[in-house]
Amino acid sequence: MLATTIALGITLGATPAMAGTSAALLKRLHEKGILSDDEYQQLLREDEAESAAPAPAATPAAAPVADSDRLVRRTASGVGVEIGDVALTFSGSVNGFYVHDNPQAASARTAVTGGIANVGGNSTSSVRNGLLPGFLKVEATTHQGGWDVGAHFGMYPGINSAAWGALGANNGGQPTALATAGIDFRQTYLTFGRAGFGEVKIGRDIGLFGSDAILNDITLLSSGAPGGNVAPANTTLGRIGSGYIYTDFQPQITYTTPSLSGFKAAFGVFQPLSSLTGPAEQNGSPGFQAKLSYDGKLGPVTAHLWASGITQKHDTLNRALAYTGKGLDVGAKLTAGPVTAVGYYYTASGLGTTVLNLFDSDGLGHARDSHGFYAQAMATFGKISVGGSYGESRLNFANALDAATTPTLVAKNSSYVGQVRYGLTSWVTLIGEYVSAKAQAHNGNSAKSDTLALGGILFF
């Protein structure tokens, strides 16, 4: 009975009662024998006393919250939300390809140091990423004190298992059970800018020199040369090393001007990179990169033109073997009707080949010169696009001693690419590709492989 009385008291105290409602309810409970005479009289007196008490003062209404402080809206474009005056956006990509690489006959294969073609073993098959790994980019942007500011994070996970080492997720893969994929966290940077000023970027992002070469390469969305297809890592080579040097994602402080009649300039201070194949370095100066670009119309032709440069001094620990790496490139992307064509050329000294500072010197402070180019075209008819390209990268000896001591050094990497795309949806593109890659050494050694890649890529 006591428990019933307590529960009834809680119910009556928690529920606003209309006049007479509580008294009538207590009377019925008393008549049914649920409440004793004493309980009924006690609760009735408490109810009458509560009814006679003055009503509490109304609680002042909370100050209204401005919509801009609490409103969550869908972003005008992309995938994301606006929370107050902050836009939080998400973008990403997923891809996968079946890649079959078939090298030339074993009797014809010979060693090429730095070659991009398969030079050993049998034909290989893999299910792997193409030149792009997957990626998820998260950006928070807003307008504060007259400035457009933003925080940017880019995570690039591959679908293949990684064998961790000096190159992180970019090492050769680990094609065994119980292994795991790796995350290549390429982008972490902040930006601030405003109209008439331009934009400043601080953090890790794609470089300036060579960036337009890869961003306009048709193999960016596909496979290109597969490199180590027997143990696939996060990416293939695409056209890297057979037409351009990979720009890479690098720590930097970069300023980009506003657009002036279609022209835009960018220049930055970069983390100095050590040679991948030379002696240990302790660099006292940063690297510097710059780019000039133009976007506009040339009659009926839409044009994107660019030129970029890079320079960095390399100092070994004893300062005795110093050399400077430097390079220039030019390129053009022209679109007329359904056809888009790209032409690109670079020349360098002390940059090496394929990636920055690979085989860049003889190890004694003497820089090796290099140059390369690629040409491509793609035509689009409705959902179907057909394209092709050819490119090569060449590397020279530093001197006669270099030639005598490293005769198998790559002299030229080249590749042909043929590609067909089908736009399944606005997000998904299906791709078929054929690649013929060849590597030639200075002493006459050579290797060749033919690759077929079939798969698809999704962007959102």
Give CA–CA dist 290/270, Å, rounded. Answer: 11
Q: How does residue 448 score in pLDDT terms, banded at 50, 70 and 90?
A: very high
Q: What is the pLDDT of residue 316?
A: 86
Nearest to 362, CA basis, from 329, 327, 328, 314: 314
Nearest to 460, CA basis, from 96, 86, 138: 138
Longest dimension (CA), the chain: 117
Average pLDDT for the chain = 88
Query: Residue 353 in contact with residue 333, Cβ under 8 Å?
Result: no
* pLDDT exceeds 80 at position 16: no
Q: How does residue 348 score in pLDDT terms, banded at 50, 70 and 90?
A: very high
pLDDT in tens, 294-310: 999 989 999 999 999 99
Q: How does residue 47 score in pLDDT terms, banded at 50, 70 and 90?
A: low
Q: Which segment of 51-65, 214-228, 409-423, 432-446 scores lowest on mean pLDDT?
A: 51-65
* pLDDT exceeds 80 at position 86: yes
* pLDDT exceeds 70 at position 24: no
* pLDDT exceeds 80 at position 421: yes
Q: What is the pLDDT of residue 30?
A: 64
* pLDDT exceeds 50 at position 2: no
**Percent of the chain beyond pLDDT 90?**
70
Q: What is the pLDDT of residue 9?
A: 41
Query: Residue 429 in contact with residue 456, Cβ under 8 Å?
Result: yes
Residue 196 CB burial class (10 angstroms; 0-12, 13-18, ≥19): exposed
Q: What is the mean pLDDT of residues 153-181?
A: 86
**Percent of the chain beyond pLDDT 70?**
83
Q: What is the pLDDT of residue 23?
A: 66
* pLDDT exceeds 70 at position 365: yes
Q: What is the pLDDT of residue 32?
A: 60
Q: Which segment of 35-39, 337-341, 443-447 scores lowest on mean pLDDT?
A: 35-39
Rg of the chain's alpha carbons, rounded to an integer? 34
Q: What is the pLDDT of residue 164?
A: 76
Q: Which segment of 47-61, 158-172, 373-387, 403-417 scores lowest on mean pLDDT?
A: 47-61
pLDDT in tens, 217-268: 999 999 999 988 888 888 999 999 999 999 999 999 999 999 999 999 999 9
21-31 helix and 37-52 helix, angle to the nearest 10 degrees:
180
Q: What is the mean pLDDT of residues 174-199?
A: 92
* pLDDT exceeds 50 at position 7: no
pLDDT in tens, 100-156: 999 987 656 788 999 999 766 689 999 999 999 999 999 999 999 999 999 999 999
